[in-house]
Amino acid sequence: MDQTFMKEKKILPLVLSMSLPMIISMAVNSLYNIVDSYFVAKLSEDAMTALALVYPVQNLINAIAIGFAIGINACVAFYLGAGSQKQADEAATQGTLLNFLHGVILTIVSIAVMPAFLNMFSSDETVTNLALTYANRAFLFAVFITLGLCFEKIFQSVGRMQVSMFCMMCGFIANIVLDPLMIFGIGPFPAMGIAGAAYATGIGQCFSLLVYLLFYFFRPIPVKLRREAAKPDKEVIIRMYSIGISATLTMALPSLLISVLNGILSAFSGTYVLVLGVYYKLQTFIYLTANGIIQGIRPLMGYNYGAGEQERVKEIYLTSLKLIAGVMLVGTLLSWVIPEQLIGLFTSNPQTIQIGVTALHIISLGFIVSAVSVTSSGALEGLGKGTPALCISLLRYVVIIIPAAFLLCRLAGADGVWYGFCFSEFATAGCSLLIYRKATGV
């Protein structure tokens, strides 16, 4: 259980060894929604539109759970790097209890507000009913999501990336097996339609949590959830929330963005709303490698920062930036070489596919340069500098893109929203470099 490899191993092999399992984990995680959407698309376009409308709230729940778990991750890694075992255990224990409470609150609030939320974006009773059917079942599993993500980030904070990969794969396999069975009523299962998709996803997440618990009890890690560590420690809790709130807001901002853009696009056609929902599912898949690298470097940044290894922190940042830029180059090429096939995964309507192809072509022009903001924001979270990371995300998801999309759609119609994405990435990249240098002094 020696963690010194984080400050001794060569940078590139270290980043790759920590990131590759996370890339696979991110791929598995993104496939939860992809698989749901694939099977739900077989039901109807109304069902797909319903998923697109629920997605912002789903993303918000995940953002809150993952954001606070990132705070746990950063604190555990920092305290281990600084040689403080007691505070590392306190961060893991108190963080898990707090995220359990978050899950309970999220279940109650999200189910309560969903009818009003849906009425803001759709007057189609069929779509609204389908969305409520899915949401009211999917949100019942919020507690299992928050607990599972706690264990995921705790295992990652000590370098046990292979465990995260394995547990995510177990949940996904359960989901992909149950989806067609529960949606279409195969074997002993009744045909539950869109409700079956919600149950299958939730059961898969429960299964992931179960496997994490088995690993925790039978393969010990350097931090422990202990009863005596549950006594609130003001320093630890403040540090977790200072990182976690910023990370949560960073991850929640896409939900706000999607809701605003849905409002803009709905004035043109419901088809554009559907295309935006499809793009965000594809974007999750395209960005998963980049996000996997970020997840891999967070504990490395935190551990080395806690250990006073400033030069290694700088090298990890630069190495990650180059890797992510390469990944986004591949995403750009895919968006231009096989856009019809990508959009065609979710709809067979020729008009929808054509609109989706145009959207991918325009938005993908900003993929490569987005590596700067993605890397800078993730690295700052790993260093425990949540506020500068949040500033980058605010620029990327609110301050620049929303006004740009609003103005450009006046000039180019609905396509102006896609141009807004591209413009935002270039503008945010320049700001991100300045913010990162000011926050770190490099």
The model carries a pTM of 0.75
What pLDDT, on a 0 to 100 scale, did the predictor assign at position 299?
Answer: 86
What pLDDT, on a 0 to 100 scale, did the predictor assign at position 239?
Answer: 86
Nearest to 405 by CA among 414, 392, 396: 414
Where does residue 121 rank: exposed (0-12), middle (13-18), buried (19+ CB within 10 A)? buried
What pLDDT, on a 0 to 100 scale, did the predictor assign at position 207?
Answer: 93
DSSP letters for 211-229: HHHHHHHHS--SS---SGG
- Calpha distance 236→255 (Å, rounded): 29
What pLDDT, on a 0 to 100 scale, did the predictor assign at position 33?
Answer: 64
Q: Where are the alpha helices (DSSP H) in 267-309?
A: 270-286, 288-306
What pLDDT, on a 0 to 100 scale, did the predictor assign at position 376?
Answer: 94
- Calpha distance 404→194 (Å, rounded): 35
Give, for all 442 residues of the chain, the pLDDT tens digit: 456 677 778 888 888 888 888 787 777 666 666 677 778 888 887 888 888 888 778 878 888 888 899 889 888 988 888 888 899 899 999 999 999 999 999 999 999 999 988 888 777 888 888 889 999 999 999 999 999 999 999 998 888 888 888 988 888 889 888 988 998 988 888 888 888 988 998 999 999 999 999 999 998 888 999 888 888 888 889 888 988 888 888 777 887 888 899 889 988 888 888 889 888 878 877 787 888 898 888 888 888 888 788 888 899 999 999 999 999 999 999 999 998 898 888 788 888 899 999 999 999 999 999 999 999 998 998 888 888 988 998 999 999 999 999 999 999 888 999 999 999 999 999 999 999 999 887 6
Contact 155, 72 (CB under 8 A): no
* DSSP state for residue 396 in the 8-state scheme: I
What pLDDT, on a 0 to 100 scale, did the predictor assign at position 419?
Answer: 94
DSSP letters for 2-63: --GGGGTS-HHHHHHHHHHHHHHHHHHHHHHHHHHHHHHHTT-HHHHHHHHHHHHHHHHHHH
| Structure tokens given for 50 | 């319903």
Where does residue 228 rank: exposed (0-12), middle (13-18), buried (19+ CB within 10 A)? exposed
What pLDDT, on a 0 to 100 scale, did the predictor assign at position 317?
Answer: 93
What pLDDT, on a 0 to 100 scale, did the predictor assign at position 431?
Answer: 95
